[in-house]
Structure 1
Amino acid sequence: MGHYITIATCNLNQWALDFEGNRDRIIESIRQAKKQGAKLRVGPELEICGYGCLDHFSESDLYQHSWEIYGDIISHPDTKDILLDIGIPIIHKSNKYNCRIISYNAKILLIRPKLYLANDGNYREMRYFTPWNRPKYFEEYQLPKFISKITQQSRVTFGDCVIETFETRLGCETCEELFTPQSPHIDMSLDGVEIFTNSSGSHHELRKLDTRLELITEATKKCGGVYLYSNQRGCDGDRLYYDGCAAIILNGKVVAQASQFSLNDVEVVSATIDLDDVRSYRNQKSASLQSVNRKDIYKSLYCEIDLSPTSNVFNPLIVPTSTRPIRYHLPEEEIALGPACWLWDYLRRSKTGGYFLPLSGGIDSCATAVIVHSMCRLVVEAIKDGNKQVLNDIQSLTHDSNFIPNTPQEIAEKLFHTSFMGTENSSKETRTRAKELAKKIGAYHIDLNMDTLVGAVISVFEVATGKKPIFKIFGGSQTENLALQNIQARLRMVLSYLFAQLLPWTRNKSTGGLLVLGSANVDECLRGYLTKYDCSSADINPIGGISKTDLKRFIAWAEIKFELPILNEFLTATPTAELEPITENYVQSDEIDMGMTYDELSRFGRLRKVDKCGPLSMFIKLYHEWSQPPLNLTAEQVAEKVKRFWFFYAINRHKMTTMTPAYHAEQYSPDDNRFDLRPFLINPRFPHASKKIDEVVEDIKRREEEIQKNNISVE
Structure 2
Amino acid sequence: MKYGFIKVASATPKIRVADCKTNTINIIEQIKEAHKNGASLVVFPELCVTGYTCSDLFYQRVLLNAAEKSVEEVLKKTADLDIISIVGVPVAIESALYNCAAVIYKGDILGIVPKVNIPNYSEFYEVRHYTSGKNLYDEISYAGVETIISDNLVFCCDKMRDFSFGVEVCEDLWVAASPSVEHAKHGATIICNPSTSDDVIGKAQYRRDLVKMQSGKLCCAYIYSDSGFGESTTDMVFSGQNIISENASLLAESKRFTTGIIYADIDVQKLSAERRKTNTFTKSDDNNFTSVYFDMPIKQTKLSREFSRTPFIPSNKSDLDARCEEIITMQATGLATRLAHTGIQNAVLGLSGGLDSTLALIVCVHAFDMLDIDRKNIHTVTMPCFGTTKRTKSNAQLLAEAYGVSFEDINITKAVRQHFADINHDESVTNITYENSQARERTQILMDLSNKYNGLVIGTGDLSELALGWATYNGDHMSMYAVNVSIPKTLVRYLTAYEAQHSEGVLKTVLLDVLDTPVSPELLPPDKNGEIAQKTEDVVGPYELHDFFLYYLVRFGFEPNKIYYLAKRSFAGKYDNATIKKWLTTFVRRFFTQQFKRSCLPDGPKVGSVTLSPRSDWRMPSDACVNLWLENLEED
TM-score, normalised via structure 1 length = 0.41
What is the TM-score normalised by the length of structure 2? 0.46
